């Protein structure tokens, strides 16, 4: 909203100078646009200190206390969690949302440590993934109870730890469903509802992982990844629409989903199609990837979106490298391909320029 309000100020000043609107209405118009709080240095340092405090508590209670009775260790863990959760409730009651958010984040970290250490204290043997999942559920529960973006981020991280513990990335895709399929959409919803940049970045990456899991579950065929790329492109378009509506941090999802769609399309060209090992995309796929990357680059410049522009740049560079590799560094053939691509880009640019001038 802040950037949007700055643009409105510039437009109002220009319209007032041109005599289009009355200068007396300027303040009334600006008053209808809410301000967005930006994290200052003090708040950032408070967050760093809070996270480090949570890690310090975990490191302290994780020590092997041979001389301390088991019940005392358990009581210390319980007291630490209750203390931070109670302090967060007090901060919320006193209308100090930042302090409450930090304290609930620490409480979520302490609870995560308590699950594993309680099993260690009482010699309870179990699947380590269950401990991570339990910590993730607790993190989300604390987040919803206290409107804490930090606790939600902790919950998402521990669900990811549970998904990857004891696995080799996508090797178990056929047998087990990752909990991230639930955690990622929930975190994305909370990020948009509460306007959290950190949670938006983390949940966007988690959603991309979910798309990758679906592709791996389908035996990693090119057609499946192409379909997933189209679906993610549609989701990126929806995020772009939300970004145009000035929805807080929708631009984060727009950028990452664009990157995910381009990545899925790139992977599709290197996989067999419908079980045909020789059915990979080849040079035609690399040319299409180059064209799409160029379009993403142009779109990013049009929307003034740094992440989308960066994705387009990396896509163009990657597709060029892939083309050179496919052509076996045949410079004459490479020159012909790039000449054709350059001509297509120039024609498209001139067409867009002519359309813009006509309007």
- Please list, in sequence order, all residues whose beta carbon lies within 8 angstroms of the beta carbon of residue 72, skipping any fewer than 6 positions away: none
User: What digits encode the pLDDT tens for the residues 112-147?
Assistant: 777 766 655 544 455 667 778 888 888 898 888 888
What are the residues facing 273 on neighbouring strands?
276
Distance (Å, whole) CA 56 – CA 41: 22
How many domains are contained in the chain? 1
Residue 54 has pLDDT above 50, yes or no: yes
Residue 276 has pLDDT above 80, yes or no: no
Helix (H, G, I), strand (E, B) or coil at 197: helix
| Residue written as token pair 């987040």 | 143
The lowest-confidence range among 176-180, 294-298, 312-316 is 176-180
Angle at 262 between CA 158 and CA 336, to 5 degrees: 150
**Band of the pLDDT at 270, cuts 50, 70, 90?**
confident
Q: Rounded mean pLDDT of the chain?
A: 77
Residue 15 included in any domain: yes
Q: What are phi and psi of 111, to 5 degrees?
A: -65, -40
**Could you tell me the sign of the dihedral formed by the alpha carbons of 353, 355, 356, 358, in that order?**
positive
Q: Which domain holds residue 26?
A: 1-35
Residue 18 included in any domain: yes
Task: Give the DSSP letter of residue 23.
Answer: G
Distance (Å, whole) CA 297 – CA 294: 5
pTM of the prediction? Answer: 0.73
Residue 2 included in any domain: yes
Residue 68 included in any domain: no
Q: Are 171 and 136 in contact (CB under 8 A)?
A: no
- Please list, in sequence order, all residues whose beta carbon lies within 8 angstroms of the beta carbon of residue 53, skipping any fewer than 6 positions away: 106
The lowest-confidence range among 191-200, 249-258, 328-337, 338-347 is 328-337
Q: Where are the beta strands (DSSP E) in 97-254?
A: none
- 180 vs 68, more confident: 180
Distance (Å, whole) CA 268 – CA 172: 21
Range 308-338 burial, b when 16+ CB lie within 10 A, else e: bbbbbebbbebbbebbbebbeeeeeebeebe
Residue 283 has pLDDT above 90, yes or no: no
**pLDDT score, position 175:** 56
Angle at 243 between CA 238 and CA 248, to 5 degrees: 120
Closest listed residue to residue 139, CA positions, set 93, 83, 183: 183
Q: Are 108 and 154 in contact (CB under 8 A)?
A: yes
**Band of the pLDDT at 259, cuts 50, 70, 90?**
very high
Residue 85 included in any domain: no
Residue 84 included in any domain: no
Residue 135 included in any domain: no
**Band of the pLDDT at 34, cuts 50, 70, 90?**
low
Residue 69 has pLDDT above 60, yes or no: yes
Residue 160 included in any domain: no
- Max mean pLDDT range (272-281, 309-318, 346-355): 309-318
């Amino acid at each position: 909203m802040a950037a949007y309000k700055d643009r409105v100020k510039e437009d109002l000043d220009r319209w007032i100078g041109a005599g289009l609107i009355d200068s007396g209405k300027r303040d009334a118009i600006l008053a209808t646009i809410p301000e967005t709080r930006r994290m200052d240095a003090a708040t950032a340092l408070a967050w760093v200190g809070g996270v480090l405090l949570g890690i310090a508590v975990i490191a302290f209670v994780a020590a092997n206390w041979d001389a301390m009775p088991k019940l005392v260790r358990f009581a210390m863990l319980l007291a630490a969690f209750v203390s931070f959760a109670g302090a967060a409730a007090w901060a919320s009651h006193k209308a100090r949302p930042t302090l409450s958010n930090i304290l609930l984040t620490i409480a979520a970290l302490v609870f995560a440590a308590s699950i594993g250490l309680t099993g260690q204290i009482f010699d309870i043997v179990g699947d380590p993934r269950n401990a991570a999942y339990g910590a993730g559920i607790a993190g989300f529960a604390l987040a919803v109870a206290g409107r804490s973006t930090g606790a939600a981020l902790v919950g998402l991280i521990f669900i990811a730890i549970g998904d990857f513990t004891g696995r080799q990335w996508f090797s178990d895709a056929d047998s087990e469903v990752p909990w991230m399929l639930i955690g990622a959409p929930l975190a994305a919803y909370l990020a948009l509802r509460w306007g959290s940049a950190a949670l938006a970045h983390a949940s966007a990456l988690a959603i991309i992982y979910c798309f990758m899991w679906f592709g791996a579950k389908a035996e990693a065929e090119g057609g499946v990844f192409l379909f997933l790329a189209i679906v993610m492109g549609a989701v990126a378009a929806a995020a772009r629409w939300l970004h145009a509506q000035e929805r807080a941090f929708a631009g984060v999802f727009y950028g990452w989903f664009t990157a995910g769609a381009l990545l899925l399309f790139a992977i599709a060209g290197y996989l067999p199609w419908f079980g045909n090992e020789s059915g990979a995309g080849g040079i035609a796929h690399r040319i299409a990837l180059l064209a799409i990357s160029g379009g993403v680059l142009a779109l990013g410049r049009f929307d003034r979106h740094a992440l989308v522009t960066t994705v387009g740049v990396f896509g163009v560079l990657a597709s060029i490298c892939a083309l050179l590799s496919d052509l076996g560094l045949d410079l004459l053939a490479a020159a012909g391909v790039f000449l054709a691509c350059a001509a297509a880009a120039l024609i498209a640019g001139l067409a867009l320029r002519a359309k813009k001038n006509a309007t």
